[in-house]
Amino acid sequence: MLSILIAGLIYLIWYSPVFIVQKVDVKGVNMSQDEILDILGADTIGSNILFWRRQTEHVLDPRFDTFNMRKNYFKRTVQVTATEREKSFAWCFEASGDCFWTDKTGFIFSPAPASSGGLITVISDWREMPPGIGGYVLPASMNENLNSIIAIIGRLDLSVDSIKIENIKLRELLISASNGPRIIFSLSIDPDFTETAIRSLMESKSWTATKTLNLTVPGRAYPSY
């Protein structure tokens, strides 16, 4: 009798469809079942839910800021709740022609289309050996200053034609203003003082006549005509 019971339990657990994963439910991201199975492992559906584990070679996808899973034994589903990283910049490396999305920390998480226009902030970078997906475009301190510069440009409602890093060793950000000068920022210093300097020049008669505005020295503004 005991052997029959054991045999029944073995069949129920290992061979019957009672504990087979039927579906993967996803919340928080717009992904197809095939896309999520590519992340979890294609054999998730049809596996025994009691023993299923996410394949160890599948690490957290760089596209996600959070990625949590739990099993629902009653519904025989794997439930995934994820949040995607926010797209802050389309970062384009001109030497290779590759563009990537970065978040506010400067983390590169997925390919981006070659973009232009005001809806997307595009930064052109001429580095010969750029970081790839999973890397950071800038050290943390420089990235913080970059975000501050972009915020200043937004508060000034300044229309720009391009944003560039031509030589990363110089730690300079070059912004070409529409109908205005080429503005040189330093990514190594706090840019708070630059807002007043730019606003003052914008409100003067010299804005359109100025060719370059150098803001790489703390507290100083050097226009050239």
Residue 5 in any domain: the answer is no
pLDDT at 80: 80
Domain count, the chain: 2
Contact yes or no for 164/149 (Cβ under 8 A): no
pLDDT at 51: 59
Q: Are residues 71 and 136 in the same domain?
A: no
Residue 6 in any domain: the answer is no
Q: Are residues 103 and 207 in the same domain?
A: yes
pLDDT at 196: 96
Q: Are residues 64 and 142 in the same domain?
A: no
pLDDT at 62: 86
Residue at which a domain ends, from 43, 65, 84: 84
Residue 13 Cα distances to 16, 51, 164, 179, angstroms: 6, 10, 60, 72
Q: What is the pLDDT along the chain (225 residues), one digit of tens a residue?
A: 545 545 444 544 555 566 676 777 778 777 776 777 767 766 676 576 665 666 554 456 788 888 787 877 778 777 788 888 999 999 999 999 999 999 999 999 999 988 755 578 999 999 988 898 999 999 999 999 999 999 999 999 999 999 999 999 999 999 999 989 999 999 999 999 999 999 999 999 899 999 999 999 999 999 998
CATH of the domain at 56: 3.10.20
The rounded distance, in Å, linking the Cα atoms of 25 and 197 is 53
Q: Are residues 26 and 100 in the same domain?
A: no
Q: Are residues 60 and 114 in the same domain?
A: no
Domain range enclosing 39:
18-84
Contact yes or no for 172/165 (Cβ under 8 A): yes
Residue 1 in any domain: the answer is no
Q: Are residues 125 and 192 in the same domain?
A: yes
pLDDT at 68: 81
Q: Are residues 113 and 204 in the same domain?
A: yes
pLDDT at 49: 66
Residue 210 in any domain: the answer is yes
Task: Cite the DSSP H helix spans in 41-174.
Answer: 140-155
Residue 190 in any domain: the answer is yes
